Amino acid sequence: MNLIDLMGSSVTVKVLNGKKLSQIVQNQLKEQIAFSSGKAGRPPGLGVILVGDNEASKAYVASKEKSAAKIGMRTFDYKLPSDASFSDVAGVIQEFNNNSGVDGILLQLPLPPHLDAAALLELINPLKDADGLHPYNQGLLMKGQALLKPCTPLGCMLLLDLAYSEASLETQDFDLSAVKRSDLSGKHAIVIGRSILVGKPIAMMLLERNATVTMAHSKSPDIKALTRQADIVVAAVGRPGLVRKDWIKNGAVVIDVGINRLPSGKIGGDVAYDEVISECSAITPVPGGVGPMTIAMLLSNTYQSFNSKIGI
């Protein structure tokens, strides 16, 4: 919690610490894996495919593999050169699909431009679709029945649940089970950004929770007039500081998905955090908000497909 003093009156703002929440989710997964690996006779397995030399992708993959190892998850690792052909990558996906020790498959994006990412994602067995990006799962998400859901949107929803929960991450005895799935009936949510990776799936998940959802994007006029009516604002745009204080209704919950490299070299979100924090009831910082949740949800998805396979 943060106490912000506004002209003498104190307002309590929940700063949604994704770094801490991600660690708590991973600690819980570690305990669950220790138990279920013994029963299954093997740990859950994550197959990771990295194509090319994109420095950010290499760093993401290394961090995902390290986190998987820490919670007792096995990783199967394929690093392909940047000139790998479609059939080279398809062959690895097929191998992972056929490997009964692999429960989740991660095809690290972006791929080199000569490779059709959408066509390759379609080759992943939907039951092993750890990133929740297979069109089958995306279609089921529309019906509220996805087997596996995209990781960043899942992370946003857990942070939103934390925002509406009585539980505080800052208490010694914080228990993840105290963070209940929130019913957003009567709440107006706006999602800015309509990508297939973030904006659209978040909108679907908010609808599943009964929120009234508005979607805004680069062609929407006067987004400020829309956000000013919203109880929940999710910004997934990639424009630093787009969402200003006067865009926010007092007491709104603000989820900032944006990751932008600022001229200073620092990372910043799509929300002007320093000014918006005095207007909202809860907010995710950047860095340390949505970003760290994505990896926890990838591991959680992989554990979920392992679990449904071994039936524990």
Catalog residues that contact ligand NAD under the rule CB under 6 A. Answer: 152, 192-195, 197-199, 216-218, 223, 236-239, 257-260, 290-291, 294
Of the residues 103, 129, 131, 270, only one is catalytic, namely 131
Of the residues 64, 128, 187, 200, only one is catalytic, namely 64
CB closer to ligand NAD out of 39 and 261: 261
Q: Outline where the chain has alpha helix (H).
A: 18-40, 55-70, 86-98, 117-121, 135-142, 151-164, 199-208, 223-227, 273-276, 290-310
Judge contact between 44 and 3, C-beta under 8 A: no
How near is the Cβ of 64 to ligand NAD at its closest, in Å? 12
How near is the Cβ of 197 to ligand NAD at its closest, in Å? 5
Q: Outline where 78-231 has alpha helix (H).
A: 86-98, 117-121, 135-142, 151-164, 199-208, 223-227
CB closer to ligand NAD out of 160 and 198: 198
> How many C-beta atoms lie closer than 10 Å to residue 53's C-beta?
11
Say which residue the tokens 């392992």 belong to: 306
**Which residue sits closest to ligand NAD, CB atoms considered?**
195
SS3 of residue 6 by DSSP:
strand
Active site residue 28: no
Which residues, 6 or more positions from 172, have their beta carbon under 8 angstroms from its beta carbon?
Answer: none
How near is the Cβ of 83 to ligand NAD at its closest, in Å? 25
Closest by CA to 240, choosing from 196, 199, 287, is: 287
Say which residue the tokens 């059939």 belong to: 87
CB closer to ligand NAD out of 25 and 92: 25
Active site residue 131: yes
CB closer to ligand NAD out of 102 and 197: 197
CB closer to ligand NAD out of 26 and 36: 26
Return the amino acid letter for 103: D
How near is the Cβ of 92 to ligand NAD at its closest, in Å? 23
Active site residue 138: no
Judge contact between 48 and 69, C-beta under 8 A: no
- CA 197 and chain centroid, separation: 10
Of the residues 108, 138, 200, 270, only one is catalytic, namely 108
How near is the Cβ of 159 to ligand NAD at its closest, in Å? 11
Residues tagged active-site: 64, 108, 131
